[in-house]
């Protein structure tokens, strides 16, 4: 079991979580706030962010909503400037990705078009990881012991199909992994890249792939409990002690893979 930073060290650290106004992103933000971090809630709209902010404020948490569009670099710079102005540095960045699979696209008459739609959507998610990380990397370097966690889902909806199993096929003959493996591999490659770039600054970078169904990426009646359970893995990676492994990928079963032998 990896060792974690002490509660005393966690107090006063600053975190930014993308898509923190819903689903797993909100659960991760809530768990980080519970260990006395100041958490900036990346939100799609001002209203959705303020709603979460009010709920967590009522529970005594130090959180601040921040409207962010990962496709709008100006919005990312505004958040970076705000964090620097109030905290001077960023200690934790959690990138929450919404990887798409064959289950979650509307089928067409052409399997090739279906695969392309899945692939394009996932590549866009990978590009957003770069945009967010690049905007906040200078603040992460200032921390001296920052943690970056890239969170993706194994699949978005439908039956329990193993995302990495080549034989997985959905109705109609479209391979479940055909559009999702390459982008997920890209996320791991980006994790490895940033781990190397920021290693000398004390930044540990991890990837984690959660089971979208078991992890409660939706909003069903039992979602809150499932979400908080699922959030424990990325939160653990976000609070790793100094000297722990960087450039790792943790799968749905909790198996931790080292992406580099360095």
The 10s digit of each residue's pLDDT in 152-209 is: 875 433 333 333 334 344 444 444 444 455 556 778 889 999 999 999 999 999 999 8
Rounded CA separation 27/52 (Å): 11
pLDDT of residue 227: 84
pLDDT of residue 261: 52
Lowest mean pLDDT among 55-59, 112-116, 246-250: 112-116
> Is the pLDDT assigned to residue 82 strictly greater than 60?
yes
Phi then psi for 121, rounded to 5 degrees?
A: -60, -40
Rounded CA separation 129/69 (Å): 12
pLDDT of residue 187: 82
pLDDT of residue 230: 86
**Angle 88-94-100 from CA coordinates, rounded to 5°:** 150
Q: 194 versus 115: which is more confidently predicted?
A: 194
The 10s digit of each residue's pLDDT in 26-60 is: 999 999 999 999 999 999 999 999 999 999 999 99
Average of pLDDT values for 71-96? 96
Average of pLDDT values for 117-139? 82
Mean pLDDT (the chain, rounded): 80
Domains of the chain: 7-258 (3.40.50.720)
pLDDT band of 118, cuts 50, 70, 90: low
CA dihedral 139, 143, 147, 149 (to 10 degrees): -10
């Amino acid at each position: 079991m990896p060792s974690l930073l002490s509660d005393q060290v966690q107090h006063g650290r600053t975190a930014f979580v993308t898509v923190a106004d819903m689903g797993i992103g909100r659960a991760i933000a809530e768990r980080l706030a519970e260990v006395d971090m100041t958490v900036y809630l990346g939100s799609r709209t001002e209203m959705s962010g303020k709603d979460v902010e009010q709920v967590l404020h009522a529970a005594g948490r130090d959180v601040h909503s921040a409207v962010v569009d990962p496709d709008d670099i100006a919005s990312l710079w505004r958040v970076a400037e705000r964090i620097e102005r109030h905290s001077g540095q960023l200690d934790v960045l959690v990138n929450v990705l919404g990887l798409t699979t064959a289950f979650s696209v509307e089928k067409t008459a052409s399997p090739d078009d279906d695969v392309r739609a899945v692939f394009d959507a996932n590549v866009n998610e990978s590009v957003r990881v770069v945009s967010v990380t690049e905007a906040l990397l200078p603040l992460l370097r200032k921390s001296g012991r920052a943690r970056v966690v890239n969170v993706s889902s194994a699949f978005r909806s439908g039956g329990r199909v193993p995302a990495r199993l080549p034989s997985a096929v959905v109705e109609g003959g479209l391979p479940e992994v055909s559009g999702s493996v390459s982008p997920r591999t890209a996320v791991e490659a980006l994790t490895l890249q940033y781990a190397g770039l920021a290693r000398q600054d004390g930044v540990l970078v991890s990837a984690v792939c959660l089971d979208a169904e078991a992890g409660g990426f939706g909003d069903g009646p039992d979602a809150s409990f499932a979400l908080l359970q699922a959030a424990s893995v990325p939160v653990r990676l976000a609070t790793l002690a100094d000297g722990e492994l960087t450039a790792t990928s943790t799968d749905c079963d909790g198996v931790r893979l080292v992406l580099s032998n360095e």
